[in-house]
Structure 1
Amino acid sequence: MIRRITSVVGELLVTAGVLTLLFVVWQLYWTDLTSGRVQAATVTSLEQQWDATPAPSASASAPAAAPTVDVDQTPPTGDAFAIVYVPRFGSDYAVPVVEGTGTAELQEGIGHYADAALPGQVGNFAIAGHRVTYGKPFNLIADLQDGDAVVVATATQWFTYRVQSHEIVSPKQVSVIAPVPDQPGATPTQAWLTMTACHPMHSARQRYVVHALLESVQDRSAGPPASLAAVGQG
């Protein structure tokens, strides 16, 4: 009887181990594959839509601190409305920005925090992305260097931000996405971009945060900005 019980327990442990392994494979690899395909299709769809129905040209001469912005109100939750390009992450890096930072939205791309500024607006265009699973758009966030470009495309414009600083904070430190990063209550006079992701890798114990400042605005009709030139790829 004892031998039979031991055998059954052993089989259950083996089964549990196999199921755990399958879950890890699904979580780390399958979600990357499926979400990556969905995100790539969204990018293609946005680009085709923008090229097929170009919006009226925005002012290319608007100052960086207060540019003309074609997205003048927050899109519905779940809608993709912009594309992020990061040359440091590779010449083929292009991920859609989706309104919202819930579980469903972060599976579809990079999430835009509710009530945060929109691309190019004075304030803080705050976004979040996974470092692992679901396409892992911010997997290499810690590789960004001061001065690196983060380019955001919308239907009519390209916005080039330059990385200014990095920090690692508690998930409760929401001041990092304040209109003036880390200065809650301050009145913004510049256009910021803040990227957030879980830290360390495979953990949600902290947040890795990158702040970037708007450098320039260019009409989409003028073609991609020079800031999209690939750098430091390995």
Structure 2
Amino acid sequence: MPADLAPPRRERPELKPTPHLRPGRLLAGFLTLVLVVGGGWFAWKYVGTNIVAKQRQGEMAVALADDWSGNRQGDATTDTVRIGEAMAVMRIPRFGSDFEVPVVEGVDDSALTSGVGHFPDTQRPGQLGNFAVAGHRITNGQPFKDFPDLRAGDKVVVETRTHVYTYVLEGSGTDTIVDFSDIWVVQPVPEKARRTKSQRSRAKPTRAILTLTTCSEIFHTDNRSVAFGRLVDSHHV
């Protein structure tokens, strides 16, 4: 091919050496990523879950009121309640005049996000024996965040479809701290189960009591704070 008809010769671009990332920069980038992810998790865990849980609890309270409207006859202790369903509303004046939270059957994560959870093997509100519930002190609506403020003599009001029950606490929110495995606190007669060190006490209850449980420390879950109360009043709605 004649030289004047040959395609123009292209200059090959000069290849620049690829800069090497220094270990310090890699570490800084990794730490930044960890901080961003960790900060997002912390914000969701301790802020986001509270927002979602409070909304859910409010919706359940409204649904419960609608369900009860015009249906106050009979005895709510015979109602069939499935795991995850609300059975009552709890009010604790010590926590504020506007404190109102659903009592939900079960103590799994879903139930405790919806309000305070009722231990399924314990009695219903107002019944002879132990009506035992658990609630979060932090995250998921944190209904029991002020648990240490409870004092002997404080009232706990539990409203069901047919009755309102008033319990009075016999101790403070810091009087009794147990290991999470100590299930004597939810037995029908806790004081008897504690004395006999029985996890499955067969003692027959002679009075209606209330047991409130929560984590003893905000960021520590091995121990539980417990407050006991006795039924002092019951009336039909």
| TM-score normalized by the length of structure 1 | 0.85
Q: Which one of the candidate residues 36, 41, 59 is aligned to 1:41?
A: 59
Within 5 Å, which residues of 2 pair with 1:141-180? 141-165=147-171, 166-180=175-189
Correspondence 1:213 to 2:220? no
CA offset digits 1:47-105 (Å, max 9, x no partner): 22212x23226xxxxxxxxxxx5222551111111000001101111100111001111
Hey, what's the Cα distance between the residues in 1 that align with 2:155 and 2:66?
24
Deviates more, 1:177-186 or 1:205-214: 177-186
Hey, what's the Cα distance between the residues in 2 that align with 1:208 and 1:2?
56
Aligned to 1:80: 86
Q: Give the residue type in structure 2 aligned to 1:46.
A: L
Correspondence 1:200 to 2:210? no
Indicate conservation of the 8 Å contact 1:78/1:99, yes or no.
yes
Q: What's the % identity of the aligned pairs?
A: 35
C-alpha change, 1:138 and 1:74, in structure 2 (3 Å) is: farther
Q: Which one of the candidate residues 111, 124, 128 is aligned to 2:130?
A: 124
Hey, what's the Cα distance between the residues in 1 that align with 2:84 and 2:105?
5
Hey, what's the Cα distance between the residues in 1 that align with 2:122 and 2:142?
22
C-alpha change, 1:179 and 1:13, in structure 2 (3 Å) is: same
Hey, what's the Cα distance between the residues in 2 that align with 1:18 and 1:199?
30
Hey, what's the Cα distance between the residues in 2 that align with 1:181 and 1:32?
32
Hey, what's the Cα distance between the residues in 1 that align with 2:236 and 2:211?
22
Query: What is the CA distance between 1:183 and its match in structure 2?
Result: 2.1
Indicate conservation of the 8 Å contact 1:192/1:213, yes or no.
yes
Aligned to 1:10: 28
CA offset digits 1:206-226 (Å, max 9, x no partner): 101010100000111xxxxxx
Q: Which one of the candidate residues 96, 115, 118 is aligned to 1:112?
A: 118
Structure 2 unaligned residues grouped into runs of 5+ = 1-18, 194-200
Q: Give the residue type in structure 1 aligned to 2:53.
A: S
Task: Determine which structure has greater relative contact order: mean sequence separation of CA pairs < 8 Å that are 6+ residues apart, divided by chain length.
Answer: 1
Query: What is the CA distance between 1:111 and its match in structure 2?
Result: 0.5
CA offset digits 1:156-209 (Å, max 9, x no partner): 110000001241111111101110123222221010110100111122021010
Moved over 6 A (4+): none
Q: State the SS of the aligned residue for 1:117.
A: coil
Q: Which one of the candidate residues 91, 99, 103 is aligned to 2:105?
A: 99
Aligned to 1:139: 145
Hey, what's the Cα distance between the residues in 2 that align with 1:12 and 1:143?
42
Structure 1 unaligned residues grouped into runs of 5+ = 58-68, 221-234
RMSD of aligned residue pairs (Cα, Å): 1.5
Aligned to 2:6: none
Hey, what's the Cα distance between the residues in 2 that align with 1:85 and 1:75?
20
Indicate conservation of the 8 Å contact 1:55/1:155, yes or no.
yes
Hey, what's the Cα distance between the residues in 1 that align with 2:191 and 2:108?
23
Hey, what's the Cα distance between the residues in 1 that align with 2:152 and 2:98?
21
Indicate conservation of the 8 Å contact 1:95/1:110, yes or no.
yes
| TM-score normalized by the length of structure 2 | 0.84
Q: State the SS of the aligned residue for 1:10.
A: helix
